[in-house]
Amino acid sequence: MSDQTLSLGRAGARAQSGSSDLYRAVWRWHFYAGLLVLPFLITLALTGALYLFRDEIDAVVHADLKRVAVTEGASRIAPSTMVSAALSAHPGKAVKYTDPPTPGSSAEVTVAAATGQRLAVYINPYDGRVLGSLPDRGTVMWTVRTLHSLKYFGPVARGAIEIAGGWAILLVGTGIYLWWPRRQGGGVVSVRGTPKRRVFWRDTHAVTGVFVGFFIVFLAVTGMPWSGVWGEKVNEWANGTNFGYPTGVYVGVPMSDDTLRQTGPKTWSLEQARLPESATPARPTDPVGLDAAVAAFGRMGLHAGFAVSLPTKPKGVYTGTVYPDDLAQQRVVHLDQYTGKPLLDMSYADYGPVAKWLEFGINVHMGQQFGLANQLFLLVVCAAIVLLAASAAVMWWKRRPAGSLGVPPAPYDPRVMKGVIAILFIGGILFPLVGASLIVMVILDLTLAARRREKAA
């Protein structure tokens, strides 16, 4: 054998070893990402699938509160009369009135009750009868939404969701590399074997992942605006640099220190927007009243089902907000409480480019933008995510060594691992909590590797 042949053979061996090392490194971090993310993905997929049909489910579960019989020719009573009925049943202070979205829907009055509790009181808009009450945001679907975001468990859990979102993106990226065809006869778009064999679960996992990977990344990215660290900071940036509001929209409008978030749930990009102030009248005068404010919002064309936040201070405003499925119909209008004149009228068309893209992503994420098709498609994606998690668990169970976690082997050449980690840290810079978790994982990985070397010595 010639020296040239030997040289070529060694080069081929080195190339094969390098390729194997890279595969090992990617596989190892794919395993770590799955270990961290899959429990969260299952929870998010199940609660998210339910929340896609929030209106339909709430309408059934809370039919006694949300649905009313419609009598032909019947007219609605005044909003102020409904508020009075709510306060008679639950003494306190009315802070918000929500107009019925359909003829067969009840009105909702939010009351800061004398007991200190905040209640949603449901009123028949035709006869003023109180149908019942729930704690504010106390419907079944609000509970599911709170579970989806882990708000029940405090800021640490919310931070975990943000970390899971970032690692989910890593999971998809590494998964695509592992799936990439390498002269195998199956497992690319088809599934080999039977459920008794590990290859069946490997192929099920790989094929499902490659078809829904893009949508997992989309859901992870569009869910980030609700996160406690990244979302909060991006929100501040978007609202502070005219990406949420066009230049000059506030010219000549007195602004308070109160924000839209304080008046109730708002679209994400507007939560930190400051509220205008009503002008102090030259002579003492009474506010125009809720009935006039509701009538004004109706004349201005706010979509049915708009909510009216009531002024709570002498310079407060009537704020009409509506966030229907159609983004083009989103609207925020502030009225001077003494004159009834609009101080600010903003719709989706007025948002800056970043806010528009963020709101579009959020609307699709929530299954709203494209109607039933949007809901059904994301339902399939949620089911696929559960299948991904289940197939990963079965695949791991079938290959795990006895008495071991079954972490994929480290690459022979440590330089490969350093390169992969360097790429991961770029994502950590974009998402700080993810970066912090990555540092912890690297330290743990290095510690485990050192212990294994000690035992082998």
SS3 226: helix
Q: How many C-beta atoms lie closer than 10 Å to residue 133's C-beta?
A: 21
Containing H/E element for 257?
Answer: strand 255-259
Of 105, 97, 104, 101, the closest CA to residue 80 belongs to 97
- CA-based end-to-end distance of the chain: 38
Q: What is the structure's pLDDT at 385?
A: 96
Q: E strands of 66-172, at which residues?
A: 92-98, 107-113, 118-123, 130-135
Alpha-carbon span 84 to 89, nearest angstrom = 9
Residue 1: per-residue pLDDT: 47
Residue 164 CA from chain centroid, whole number: 12
Q: Which H/E stretch holds residue 419?
A: helix 414-430
Question: Residue 111: its pLDDT value, please?
Answer: 97
pLDDT of residue 267: 65
| DSSP of 237-276 | HHHHTTSSS-TTTTTT--EEEEEGGGGS---GGGTTPEEE
Beta strand ranges found along 310-450 (DSSP E): 317-322, 331-336, 342-347
Q: What tokens appear for 35 in the block?
A: 């270990």
Pure H helices in 52-99: 54-61, 63-66, 79-89
Residues 6+ apart with CB under 8 A from 118: 95, 110, 111, 112, 135, 136
pLDDT on residue 4: 42
| Calpha distance 95→91 (Å, rounded) | 12
SS3 label, residue 369: coil
pLDDT (0 to 100) of residue 250: 42
Residue 363 falls in which region: left (phi positive, over 0), alpha (psi -120 to 50) or beta: alpha
Q: Please work out, in degrees rounded to the nearest 5, the angle formed at the alpha carbon of residue 292 by the alpha carbons of 290 and 297.
A: 95
CA distance linking residue 97 with residue 108, whole number of Å: 6
Looking only at Cα atoms, what is the longest distance across the chain?
Answer: 107
Instruction: Give me the pLDDT at residue 265, please.
Output: 65
Per residue in 193-207, is it b (16+ CB within 10 Å) or e — as a string? eeeeeeebbbbbbbb
Q: What are phi and psi of 175, to 5 degrees?
A: -65, -40
The whole-number pLDDT of residue 329 equals: 92
CA 323 to chain centre: 15
Which domains, and CATH codes, for the chain? 18-52+148-226+373-456 (no CATH), 68-138 (3.10.450.40), 245-351 (no CATH)
* Cβ-contact 227, 155 below 8 angstroms: no
How far is residue 140's CA from residue 54's CA, in Å, rounded to a whole number?
Answer: 8
| DSSP state at residue 229 | T
What is the amino acid identity at position 174? T
Q: If DSSP codes are grouped into helix, strand and coil, which group holds residue 281?
A: coil
- How do residues 111-137 score in pLDDT, each as one tens digit? 998 888 999 999 999 999 999 999 999
Query: Do the Cβ atoms of 365 and 377 come closer than 8 Å?
Result: no
Cα distances (Å, whole numbers) of residue 252 to 3, 316, 390: 85, 17, 58
Virtual torsion, Cα 12, 15, 18, 20, nearest 10 deg: -60
CA dihedral 110, 115, 116, 119 (to 10 degrees): -20
pLDDT, position 3: 44
pLDDT of 303 reads 95
Length of the chain measured in residues: 457
pLDDT of residue 378: 97
pLDDT reported for residue 10 = 41
pTM of the model: 0.84
Q: What does the alpha-carbon distance between residue 133 and residue 308 come to, in Å, rounded to a whole number?
A: 18
Q: Do the Cβ atoms of 223 and 366 come closer than 8 Å?
A: no
d(CA 290, CA 78) in angstroms, rounded, equals 9
All residue ranges of the chain with pLDDT < 70 are 1-19, 185, 238-254, 264-272, 414, 417, 423-424, 453, 456-457
Could you tell me the CA-to-CA distances from 360 to 162, 213, 237, 356, 381 in Å, in that order?
A: 20, 20, 18, 6, 18
Q: What tens digit of pLDDT does each residue of 34-61 get?
A: 888 888 899 999 999 999 999 999 999 9
pLDDT at 456: 67
In angstroms, the CA 333 to CA 317 distance is: 10
Backbone angles phi, psi at 122, to 5 degrees: -100, 130
